[in-house]
Structure 1
Amino acid sequence: MLIILGAGFYSLHSYKDKMNRQIVHYLTTEQGYTEKQLYKVYTQIGKAPVVSTTVIFADEPDARYFYRKEAGQIYQYSNAPAGPPDGSKTHYLHLEEDGG
């Protein structure tokens, strides 16, 4: 039983790591960012969307941008304040034209 749980945990961790790398690759090769501009990138598995990767940019630590991959395409689908929403965050620096 422990082997099955360990294998499942390892698979999940590997999948999240793979998604993080794919999003970083997308942002650096297709969107022109450098890795230094990316403060934090992490993938979560939840309800809807099932898999979501959050990006926080170094020059905008008070905002989160959400990315996902569908049908082989990566895109930004939303954004939000990094902390509790208080209505003060109204301008986002890294919105993509087709997302957010």
Structure 2
Amino acid sequence: METFDKRNMFFSIILLIAAFVWIGAYASEVKLEREVEAYLLDSRQYRAEDIDYVKASFGINPLLGVEVHFTDDPEARYYYTRSEGLITQYNAKPRDGIDLHHSYAYKHKEEEIEAREHIPVQLAMK
């Protein structure tokens, strides 16, 4: 009977830890969604009706990002994250597929992203 109690205790602790991790992740997503929305409304002077969709998700780099769709640019999606305490746009893509030729005219692409795209990449040869 003692083994059964230890096993139950072990699985209960694992389940509790998983629940705390899940709740923490969800809270982080909600917080970043609100921060990005506040950034767009307050700093970038958008109206609430200009924003169609705001959804945070975990990824690789950045670890937590927010996808935003604007009502007047339905074919594009914009990505934001918190970096060094500031909300920044780090990418913009067509809603379906990849813009391989950079031919799509994004209506809400921020200047910082455009400047980074034109920095030449130098490869070191050995």
Instruction: Name the counterpart of 2:117.
Output: none
**What are the within-5 Å matches in structure 2 for residues 1-100 of structure 1?**
1-85=14-98, 90-100=104-114
- Using CA pairs under 8 Å that are at least 6 residues apart, name the structure with larger relative contact order, 1 or 2: 1
Richer in helix (by share):
2
Structure 1 unpaired stretches of 5+: none
Normalising by structure 1, we get a TM-score of: 0.90
- Are the structure 2 counterparts of residues 97 and 50 from structure 1 closer, same or farther at C-alpha, using a change threshold of 3 Å? same
Aligned length: 100
Deviations 1:14-58 (A, max 9, x none): 100000000000000000001111111111111112121111101
| TM-score, reference length from structure 2 | 0.73
Higher fraction of strand: 1
Q: Look at both structures and tell me which one has the larger radius of gyration over its CA atoms.
A: 2
